[in-house]
Amino acid sequence: MAISYPVPAPNPNPPDGEFVHPIGTQLRLFGANDEAELFHDPTRTGYFAILVQEQDRKRQTTHRLTLMPEVLAAIDTSRDTWLSQAEFTCQNRKVVNLLRVGLLFSDLDTYRMDFARGRSPESLADAVLYWCLQEGIPTPSILVFSGRGIQAKWLLEGALPRRALPRWNACQKALVDRLGHLGADPGARDASRVLRLVSTVNSKSGEVCRVVHVAEDAGGEPVRYKFEYLCEQILPFSRVEIEAERKARAERRQLRLLPGANQSGLKGFSGRELAWHRLEDLRLLASIRGGVSEGQRMKHLFWQLNFLLLSGATSHNQMYHEAATLAKEIDPRWSYGSSELSTLYAKAKAYEAGEHVEFGGQKFTPLYTPKNDKLIELFEITDAEQKLLQTIISPAQARERHRARDESRRRAKGVVDRVEYLRGVEGRRARAQELKSQGFTKAEIARELGVSVRSVAYYIAAGQ
């Protein structure tokens, strides 16, 4: 393990405008497997992907995580090679097959930026560290020189499951926004992304991809962060603020945004999360039913894809690739016409461009945002099926879940329900009358039962 010193405060007058370390940093040599194992665990189930440049095309292979050390050891390092940053449920590197992800990352195309001209990889790393410090962004766990730019990676203490993807996506987007001055690539932030593999060559520059900075913890290992901590530091709204606003909206019984210039941040995050869970509900619905009948296949594909796009987990550029994966899941034998999705493709482009549709004096997203009752009617979802879904439920089902949650919270606080309460009242009344017949005073009975004298008087009067 290399000795990697903590990032110091920047020199107020750095030479040539650079952020320089007052002491040198000695890095260990990270091989391909060393770096990959920082966010891929070979002892887990799941798959990772490798992309290799072969003459005029790229060839992708997917492998079980348990085989990663052997696969990476066999890589031809003289070829352009990329590694998936997330893990998947099957041999298909698509967002809809995401299993887990163990880091945040940002691909910085520093070679496109004027400030980076003539700088060494180590100097570029210093610039990234300095900017993160100025922006209040936690120090990246590692910085990787990709041959032309820098890959900044924030390792997580534990891998995130697929249900956390909306919040993960929000962090990725925020990193691109805040690191834009460093050349952050907005097209390289999704969970299906591949980044250049350490120890392999970048044929465009002839440079070898390598780790150029490690921020170490007290134990000498690359620092890992709690995901919630990174969210608090990176996102424009904290989870506490989001929950507070949701509660306030419920109390007002109407949708309003927090005042301020960044109103869309809060509303957008909530919408993306809902869209992702609706996608998951529709996939679960198909599974519950044992598949999708022939006349229902395009309807399922259309709405699943709409919600996937609305969630921000993929873009219009990847839409048809994700559609092929979803279609195969719906029915492996089905050959659908891509032209049937052309309208959705156009709407996805408009959505990503920030366009809106005006209707009745209000602005709406170009993608479809139906209410639950519309989806329930469209897919003929029964009450029994709704009980298994997370978000596509009727008002009656929502009220029942709310009642069940309230009851659970009350029981957790030691609050008994009315039947138990009345049973206790009857018992105390009988005991009070029994003690009264034995000559005890009301004050003595009150101490015995742990109630007020007034309650004892009520118990006794009720028996007369």
Could you tell me the residue ranges of all domains in the chain?
A: 15-234, 245-369, 418-462
Residue 416's pLDDT is what? 60
Question: What confidence tens digit (pLDDT) does each residue in 60-95 have?
Answer: 999 999 999 999 999 999 999 999 999 999 999 999
Give the pLDDT confidence score for residue 274 in this predicted structure. Answer: 92
Confidence class for position 247, pLDDT limits 50, 70, 90? low
For residue 243, name the pLDDT band (cuts at 50, 70, 90): low
Query: Given a cut of 90, is residue 184 above it in pLDDT?
Result: yes
Cβ-proximal residues to 409 (8 Å cutoff; 6+ apart), any chain: none
Pick the CATH number of 418-462 from 1.10.287, 1.10.10, 3.10.450, 2.70.40: 1.10.10
Q: Would you place residue 457 in the very low, low, confident or very high pLDDT band (cuts 50, 70, 90)?
A: confident
| Domain 15-234 in this protein, CATH class | alpha beta
| Residue 308 pLDDT grade (very low, low, confident, very high; cuts 50, 70, 90) | very high
| Whether residue 298 has pLDDT greater than 90 | yes
Task: Please give the average per-residue pLDDT across 109-119, as a whole number.
Answer: 90
Quickly state the pLDDT bin for 56 (edges 50, 70, 90). Answer: confident
Q: Confidence band (pLDDT; 50, 70, 90) for 417? A: low
More confident residue, 414 or 9: 414
Residue 233's pLDDT is 92
Mean pLDDT of 280-309: 94
Looking at residue 348, its pLDDT comes to 93
Tell me what pLDDT residue 358 has.
80
pTM, 2 dp = 0.71
Q: What percent of the chain has pLDDT over 70?
A: 84
CA atoms within 13 A on the CB side of 28: 15
